[in-house]
Amino acid sequence: VKELQVTEESQIDERRRATERLPHAASANQLHELAGQLHLAREEERKRLARELHDELGQALTAIRLEIAAALSKAPAQDTFFTKKLQSATAIVDSTIRAVRRIATELRPATLELGLIPAIEWQADEFRARTGITCELRLPSQDVVLDDDRLTATFRILQEALTNVTRHSGATKTEIVLEEHHDGLFLEVRDNGRGMTPNPVGKRSLGLLGMRERALFVGGELTIQSTPGAGTLVGARIPFL
Ligand SMILES: Nc1ncnc2c1ncn2[C@@H]1O[C@H](COP(=O)(O)OP(=O)(O)O)[C@@H](O)[C@H]1O
Ligand SMILES: [Mg+2]
């Protein structure tokens, strides 16, 4: 025991000396903290941008559309050039309104303000429509109560997992499961695709890392189970407090 204590003490000493030698080196905890803060800042920025795009730009475009409609109603019937120009301007404004909505939604879907379950349902619809991959949902019957950080973390993990399914899995089926347990909220995204092959050395997995950091920052964890040829399961535990 004595010996053990001694080695332990000398290890602590060694660590202290190492820390003193490197006063500016960040610890792993500090790096996790930094990653988390960056995600938070980015999320705030996305929220603000989405709102401004939707409100300011959206309103201005709608006003322009009304002005054009007013001019069009007064256009002389025989002036086809004038009428055609105003009609094409209306079409351009309409497609710009759609683009603004799409960009705002990509930044931060408005359904997130309604809660996690509506947001997951919306995301699953988007996913099915975009990829043609089936997506089954098993969700609690009542929406879960979560603070904004946990809500956002869970949703962004889901988005990254689905992006990976689209890009890498070749799956035909996916399933999203959300369950409430005493030790937290559990999100699972399962696909029946090709599974992960061990990472080639030097390849950075920033998506997987990002998911892990998001879970860690709210006190949870991320697990990945994958068998080559037999699909992938991404699981996140998000504790309630
Ligand atoms: N659902 C999946 N099915 C098969 N392979 C996957 C899946 N998700 C991730 N991968 C593999 O893990 C790698 C790392 O994923 P990720 O960190 O998100 O990086 P990226 O998506 O930018 O390649 C991917 O390049 C891919 O090879
Ligand atoms: Mg990815």
- Ligand 1 atom nearest the C-alpha of 210 is 17
* % of the chain residues with pLDDT over 90: 71
Looking at residue 20, what is its pLDDT? Answer: 60
Ligand with minimal distance to 171 CA: 1
For residue 199, report the phi and psi dihedrals to the nearest 5 degrees.
Answer: -65, 130
Which residue's CA is minimally distant from atom 11 of ligand 1?
196
Q: What six digits make up the tokens of 218?
A: 């709210």
Residue type at 197? T
152 lines ligand 1 (CB under 6 A): no
C-alpha dihedral, 101 to 104 to 109 to 112, nearest 10°:
-120
What DSSP character marks residue 168? I
In this predicted model, what pLDDT tens digit does every residue of 89-118 receive, in sequence order?
999 999 999 999 999 999 999 999 999 999
d(CA 76, CA 30) in angstroms, rounded, equals: 69
Neighbours of 204 (CB within 10 A): 8
Asked if residue 11 has pLDDT above 70, the reply is no
Nearest to 180 by CA among 135, 232, 117: 117
Answer for the pair 210, 222: CB distance below 8 angstroms, yes or no.
no
- Residue 27: phi and psi, rounded to 5, are -80, 165
**Amino acid identity at 109:** P
Task: Output the pLDDT for position 26.
Answer: 79
Residue nearest to atom 9 of ligand 1 (CA): 164
Give the tens place of pLDDT for each residue, 121-177: 999 999 999 999 999 999 999 889 999 999 999 999 999 999 999 999 999 999 999
**Residue 165: both structure tokens together:** 């399914």
Task: Tell me: pLDDT of 35 over 80.
Answer: yes
Residue 159: partners with Cβ closer than 8 Å, 6 or more residues away: 123
The amino acid at residue 19 is T
Residue 174 near residue 165 (C-beta atoms within 8 A): yes
Q: Is the CB of 232 under 6 A from ligand 1?
A: yes
**Mean pLDDT value of segment 45-69:** 94
Tell the residue nearest (CA) to atom 5 of ligand 1: 196
State whether the beta carbon of 231 lies less than 6 angstroms from ligand 1.
no
pLDDT at 198: 77
